[in-house]
């Protein structure tokens, strides 16, 4: 299917919409619409994702029909999350049963235009709060069926990749299947990916990992972006475009197994049927958090956004991250460098603990759920200039995923326009590239220092023209 936004259906020039519809029909590709199924009522829901003005959704589907379209699917934009769980400005906190009644009225109006359209939902998975989110989703699906007289055709999950998405999928998928609801996963990159190729590679890593695990492999795959990248849908022959990523999804699955035997790393690379993949390149790396008091350098590079005027370096723990965990971090002074002018800005964060602070680093500690938010003084930046940010940081395994250091770009009006995150995660250091033998096997013996300081090892097959990438980790 090809899914479009409601704004395109309602406001794009008639000739553009008609041409899109005709070409999809020529290619036998079904048309889908992502739509806001909740209705604004006064201040409640104003400028909240998932809400629309009365009659908007019907105007969108009617225009599709008038221009010759045959709408096969509608994906509702998070009515449960937006209407019930969302806590921002103009939040409604409406009971799930009332949300179902509101949605049902719009569903009846849609069905008068397209009686056979299949209607499903998009909701997040992987949010740590609310803690009973899985139960709320299941109650919502039942409430929807009670209000409309039919189950959701599908439930697509927008995963919070830093949160407990795997555990939630494992709980939700079998229960949704039992209710006759197909499960889908949106495969995307991250907002701070710095190029089209970085974003699509990130997405490929995610669908390769999820679909190799039969416990969480979905019924439907959705490749979608609402971020800066990728910037082009075509051509499908160019790495980094959306259609190139679709073709990467259609390549063969691979299986990569990594194990440690004494001081050796051993692994096997096969296709989905278990046949070995010989003469394939496998990249091995060691993952380390660093030692307390001796941070290791986390480095990211990018290009200053065109409209940026200033930037700040920020620290977030259990805040603005959809996460809740313990944190014990050692942070040295963070350095920003303009790679064109040579300008260097250095900023330090304030320690939250008096224990084990050194002149070179600050000890930052937090309990699970305890928010820590620090912004260093802002500094000017030059639009379009390349930059590098360096964060000397060490942490422990328990702190992984509880927060990040960020470089935040701000426009002349003081509005945030882009955020580059360096999460509390291990740093990967390449330790070798090996070619699989005729049985698809490889072996590596890391040196003693690498074995002693690494918390885990990772192997990655970057994929080829006929096979998806694959990765495996051993602690």
Res 399: pLDDT: 83
- Find out whether 424 and 162 touch, Cβ atoms under 8 Å: no
Res 216: pLDDT: 92
SS3 at position 274: coil
* Longest Cα separation, the chain: 70
Nearest to 365 by CA among 381, 379, 354, 376: 354
H or E segment to which residue 87 belongs: none
Res 358: pLDDT: 61
Q: What is the DSSP secondary-structure string of 367-423?
A: -TT--EEEEPPPEE--TT-EEEEEEEEE--GGGTTSEEEEEEEE-TTS-EEEEEEEE
Residues 6+ apart with CB under 8 A from 219: 154, 182, 183, 184
Q: What is the DSSP secondary-structure string of 43-99?
A: TBTTT-TTEE-TTHHHHHHHHHHHTT--EEEEEEE-HHIIIII--STT-----HHHH
Res 360: pLDDT: 67
Half-sphere exposure of 446 (CA within 13 A, CB side): 24
Environment class of 251 (CB within 10 Å of its CB; exposed 0-12, middle 13-18, buried 19+): middle
Q: What span, in angstroms and rounded, lies between the C-alpha atoms of 164 and 90?
A: 27
Q: What is the mean pLDDT of each run of 10 residues along the chain (475 residues)?
A: 96 97 97 96 88 95 97 97 91 94 96 98 90 95 97 96 89 97 96 87 93 91 94 95 96 94 94 95 86 72 92 94 82 94 94 68 88 95 94 83 92 92 83 95 90 87 93 90
Other Cβ atoms closer than 10 A to 417? 15
Q: What is the token pair recorded at 211? A: 């679909």
Res 355: pLDDT: 62
- CATH number 3.40.50.2300 given to 2-187: no
Res 359: pLDDT: 60
Res 290: pLDDT: 61
Nearest to 29 by CA among 62, 73, 82: 73
Q: What is the token pair recorded at 225? A: 């972006």
């Amino acid at each position: 299917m090809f899914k479009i936004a409601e704004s395109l259906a309602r406001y794009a020039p008639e000739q553009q919409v008609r041409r899109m519809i005709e070409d999809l029909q020529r290619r036998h590709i079904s048309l889908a619409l992502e739509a806001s199924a909740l209705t604004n009522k006064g201040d409640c829901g104003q400028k909240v994702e998932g809400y629309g003005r009365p009659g908007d959704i019907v105007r969108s589907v009617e225009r599709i029909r008038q221009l010759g379209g045959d709408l096969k699917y509608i994906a509702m934009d998070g009515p449960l999350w937006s209407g019930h769980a969302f806590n921002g400005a103009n939040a409604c906190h409406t009971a799930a049963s009332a949300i179902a009644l509101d949605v049902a009225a719009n569903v009846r109006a849609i069905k008068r235009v397209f009686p056979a359209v299949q209607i499903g939902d998009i909701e997040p998975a992987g949010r740590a709060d609310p803690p009973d989110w899985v139960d709320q989703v299941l109650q919502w699906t039942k409430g929807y069926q009670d209000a409309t007289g039919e189950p959701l055709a599908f439930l697509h999950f927008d995963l919070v990749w830093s949160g407990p998405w795997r555990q939630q999928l494992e709980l939700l998928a079998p229960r949704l299947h039992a209710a006759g609801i197909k499960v889908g996963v949106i495969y995307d990159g991250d907002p701070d990916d710095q190029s089209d190729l970085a974003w699509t590679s990130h997405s490929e890593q995610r669908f390769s990992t999820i679909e190799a695990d039969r416990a969480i492999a979905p019924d439907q795959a959705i490749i979608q972006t609402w971020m800066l990248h990728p910037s082009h849908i075509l051509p499908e022959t160019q790495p980094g475009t959306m259609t190139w990523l679709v073709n990467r999804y259609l390549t063969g699955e691979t299986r990569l197994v990594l194990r440690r035997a004494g001081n050796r790393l051993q692994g096997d690379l096969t296709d989905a049927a278990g046949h070995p993949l010989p003469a394939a390149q496998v990249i091995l790396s060691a993952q380390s958090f660093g030692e307390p008091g001796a941070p290791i350098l986390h480095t990211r590079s990018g290009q200053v956004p065109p409209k940026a005027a200033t930037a700040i370096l920020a620290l977030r723990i259990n805040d603005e991250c959809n996460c809740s965990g313990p944190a014990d971090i050692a942070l040295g002074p963070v350095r920003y460098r303009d790679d064109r002018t040579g300008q260097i800005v250095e900023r330090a964060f304030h320690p939250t603990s008096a224990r084990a602070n050194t002149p070179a680093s600050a000890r930052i500690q937090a309990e699970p759920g305890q928010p820590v938010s620090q912004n260093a003084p802002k500094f000017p930046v030059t639009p379009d200039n390349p930059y590098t940010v360096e964060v000397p940081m060490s942490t422990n395994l328990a702190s992984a995923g509880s927060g990040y250091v960020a470089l935040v770009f701000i426009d002349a009006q003081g509005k945030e326009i882009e955020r580059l995150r360096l999460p509390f995660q291990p740093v990967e250091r390449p330790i070798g590239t090996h070619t699989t033998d005729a049985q698809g096997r490889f072996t590596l013996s890391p040196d003693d220092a690498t074995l002693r300081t690494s918390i885990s090892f990772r192997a990655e097959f970057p994929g080829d023209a006929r096979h998806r990438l694959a990765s495996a980790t051993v602690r």
